[in-house]
């Protein structure tokens, strides 16, 4: 992974924001920077984008992302969720162009924006009511809230 886009999310508000990009460094340096971010922000969980082909097929980058997620979980002892990242870069590029910041000079920003798109999808999924059957719903008083997690 040449670039790692970083975003922060708030499970209470359900809003994700771009933070920064970790770029082109060796693995030890990348994990050191991630460790610093975890120490600073104290997330309850981590989210990793899962690159898939448009037809949903996995490929080499998918395997690398899964490995990266396992490494994060092992090193930092935080739950890690994988989220389909298809079209996140396109959405980020569109947002940059809408802000008048398209092109190569702002390419590094697009990785943080793509991370925001991925994290926002995860936050939205966490806030979506979970399906239950009628008996469970009545016994639980109709509460279908998702887990409270921060990424």
pLDDT for the residue 97 = 66
Q: Is 102 within a domain?
A: yes
Q: How many domains does the chain have?
A: 1
Look up the CATH number of the domain holding residue 41. 3.30.420.140
- Does the global pTM surpass 0.85? no
Q: How does strand 46-50 pair with strand 15-23?
A: unpaired
| pLDDT tens readout for residues 13-40 | 999 999 999 987 788 999 999 999 999 9
* Cα angle value 3/123/95 (rounded, 5°): 55
How many angstroms separate the CA atoms of 51 and 64, rounded?
Answer: 9
Tokens encoding 14: 């359900």
> What's the start-to-end Cα distance of the chain, in Å?
20
Name the residue range of residue 126's domain. Answer: 3-139
Q: How many CB atoms lie within 10 A of CB 51?
A: 19
Q: Is 18 within a domain?
A: yes
Average pLDDT over all residues of the chain: 81
């Amino acid at each position: 992974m040449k670039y790692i886009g970083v975003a922060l999310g708030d499970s209470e508000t359900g809003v994700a924001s771009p933070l920064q990009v970790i770029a082109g460094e060796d693995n030890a340096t990348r994990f050191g920077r991630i460790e610093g971010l975890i120490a600073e922000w104290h997330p309850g969980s981590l989210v990793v984008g899962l690159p898939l082909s448009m037809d949903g097929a996995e490929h080499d980058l998918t395997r690398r992302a899964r490995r990266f997620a396992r490494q994060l979980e092992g090193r930092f002892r935080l739950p890690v969720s994988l989220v389909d990242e298809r079209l996140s870069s396109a959405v980020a590029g569109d947002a940059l162009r809408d802000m008048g910041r398209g092109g190569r000079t702002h390419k590094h920003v697009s990785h943080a924006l793509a991370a925001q798109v991925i994290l926002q999808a995860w936050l939205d999924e966490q806030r979506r009511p979970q399906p239950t059957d009628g008996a469970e719903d009545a016994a639980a008083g109709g509460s279908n809230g998702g887990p409270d997690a921060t990424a």
